[in-house]
Amino acid sequence: MKKAAIAAMVLMLAVVCFGRDVTAPTWLLTVPTADLLPTDRMTAGLLHLDLGITPNLEAGLHGIKYSFAQQDGSELGFGVSLVNGLYPYAVLTQDYKFGRLTLGVSAFPYFFFAGLEQALAENVWLMAEVHNGVSVGLRTKLGADWFFDLGAGYSTFSYKNLFLVDYGAPANYSFSFPTNFTGFMVVSVCYVFDIKEVVVPGTGSHTDKLKPAIAPERVKR
How many Å apart are CA 132 and CA 135, to the nearest integer?
10
79 domain residue, yes or no: yes
185 domain residue, yes or no: yes
The two most distant CA atoms of the chain are separated, in Å, by 93
Residue 207: what pLDDT? 52
What is the band of 215 on the pLDDT scale with cuts at 50, 70, 90? very low
206 domain residue, yes or no: no
217 domain residue, yes or no: no
Which residues constitute the domain of residue 169?
2-196
211 domain residue, yes or no: no
Cα→Cα distances 181→23, 59, 68, 155, Å: 34, 31, 35, 5
192 domain residue, yes or no: yes
Q: What is the pLDDT of residues 177-211, one digit of tens each?
A: 556 778 888 899 999 999 988 755 555 555 554 44
DSSP string over 73-136: S-EEEEEEE-SSSSEEEEEEEEEETTEEEEEEEESSS-SEEEEEEEEEETTEEEEEEESSEEEE
Q: Count how many domains the chain has.
A: 1
Strands 48-54 and 173-175: unpaired
What is the band of 154 on the pLDDT scale with cuts at 50, 70, 90? confident
Residue 8: what pLDDT? 38
Whether the pLDDT of residue 175 is over 80: the answer is: no
What is the band of 14 on the pLDDT scale with cuts at 50, 70, 90? very low
99 domain residue, yes or no: yes
Arithmetic mean of pLDDT over the chain: 78
Higher pLDDT, 174 or 220: 174
What is the band of 91 on the pLDDT scale with cuts at 50, 70, 90? very high
205 domain residue, yes or no: no
What is the band of 73 on the pLDDT scale with cuts at 50, 70, 90? very high
